[in-house]
């Protein structure tokens, strides 16, 4: 059998990662050939990096830790749902959200555009808060009841049709709580969903928080909740809006450049 020639990604002293090629003789024993591998970086998977396997073409996993993608759903659509979708699904299904409730979605991005669809399908009134009007048309098409551009606003109370019972915060920055607490219903639930640094602090105005009887709840899915989310999304035709790029160096660079510029609408998917 001829040797394998394949691409690897090697780290450099300056922290960059460059493409290289290597050659491997015939495999033996329990050795496995992968199309793409990443070597030379001091990362211990499971403790320092939690996206192990993201760029692999295959993996061996216990059956209880994998999920079946419904036949009616493409892998490209399923991928964003497995992360952003489940993140917003948990607040909407595990904490007493009712069809008669008003759900507020702060931020119209990868998480926000999925939260709108799920909340709408559950029968809730959905109020979307975004800095500008640029995403209003998309939000309304996805099922938002009301869209509010917050940039330059000092008071939102006259703009919301009803007080908000559940507020999903999906923005990359902490919102102005003084702007949002007045529009919350009594005993509201606030869900901070944006991943940030481990050193970040959650700071809320003490007396408004106390007087509202508010709850702050994180989103932590279970294995079963992922299956339920995929089934619900399939039945209700909930799909992410995605931008496709090839699984290549150029494709990865393109999508990350757009991501840094804030131009991705609303999830980037690398396709083999």
pLDDT digits (tens, 9 = 90+) for 60-90: 778 877 889 999 999 999 999 999 999 999 9
The pLDDT, as a whole number, for residue 45 is 46
pLDDT digits (tens, 9 = 90+) for 214-226: 999 999 888 899 9
Domain-by-domain residue ranges, the chain? Answer: 4-62, 75-216, 241-272
pLDDT higher than 70, residue 41: no
pLDDT digits (tens, 9 = 90+) for 166-204: 999 999 888 999 999 999 999 999 999 987 777 778 889
Cα dihedral angle (151, 153, 157, 158), rounded to 10 degrees? -100
The pTM of the full predicted model, rounded to 2 decimals, is 0.79
pLDDT higher than 90, residue 35: no
Average pLDDT, the chain: 88
Domain spanning 75-216: CATH superfamily: NAD(P)-binding Rossmann-like Domain (3.40.50.720)
> Three-state SS across the chain?
CCCEEEEEEEECCCCCEEEEEEEECCCCCCCCCCCEEEECCCCCECCCECCCCCCCCCCCCCHHHCCCCCCCCCHHHHHHHHHHHHHHHHHHHHCCCCCCCEEEEECCCCCHHHHHHHHHHCCCEEEEEECCHHHHHHHHHHCCCEEEECCCCCCCCCCCCCCEEEEEECCCCCCCHHHHHHHEEEEEEEEECCCCCCCCCCCCCHHHHHHHCCEECCCCCCHHHHHHHHHHHHHCCCCCCEEEEECCHHHHHHHHHHHHCCCCCCEEEEEC
> Which range is least confidently modeled, 149-163, 190-204, 236-250?
190-204
């Amino acid at each position: 059998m001829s040797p394998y020639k394949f691409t690897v990604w090697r780290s450099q002293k300056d922290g960059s990662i460059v493409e290289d090629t290597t050659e491997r003789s015939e495999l033996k024993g329990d050795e496995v050939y992968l199309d793409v591998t990443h070597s030379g970086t001091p990362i211990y998977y499971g403790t320092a990096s939690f996206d192990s396997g993201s760029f692999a073409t295959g993996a061996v996993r216990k059956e209880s830790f994998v999920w079946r993608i419904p036949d009616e759903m493409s892998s490209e659509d399923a991928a964003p749902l497995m992360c952003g979708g489940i993140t917003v699904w948990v607040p909407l299904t595990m904490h007493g959200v009712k069809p008669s409730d008003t759900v507020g979605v702060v931020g119209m991005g990868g998480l926000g555009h999925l939260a709108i669809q799920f909340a709408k399908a559950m029968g809730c009134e959905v109020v979307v808060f975004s800095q500008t009007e640029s995403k209003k048309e998309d939000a309304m098409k996805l099922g938002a009841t009301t869209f509010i551009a917050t940039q330059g606003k000092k008071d939102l109370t006259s703009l919301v049709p009803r007080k908000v019972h559940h507020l999903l915060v999906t923005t990359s920055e902490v919102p102005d709580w003084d702007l949002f607490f007045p529009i919350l219903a009594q005993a509201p639930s606030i869900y901070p969903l944006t991943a940030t640094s481990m050193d970040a602090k959650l700071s809320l105005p003490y007396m408004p928080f106390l007087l509202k009887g508010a709850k702050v709840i994180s989103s932590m899915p279970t294995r079963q909740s992922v299956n339920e989310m995929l089934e619900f999304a399939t039945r209700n035709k909930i799909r992410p809006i995605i931008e496709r790029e090839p699984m290549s160096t150029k494709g990865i660079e393109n999508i990350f450049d757009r991501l840094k510029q804030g131009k991705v609408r609303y999830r980037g998917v690398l396709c083999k």
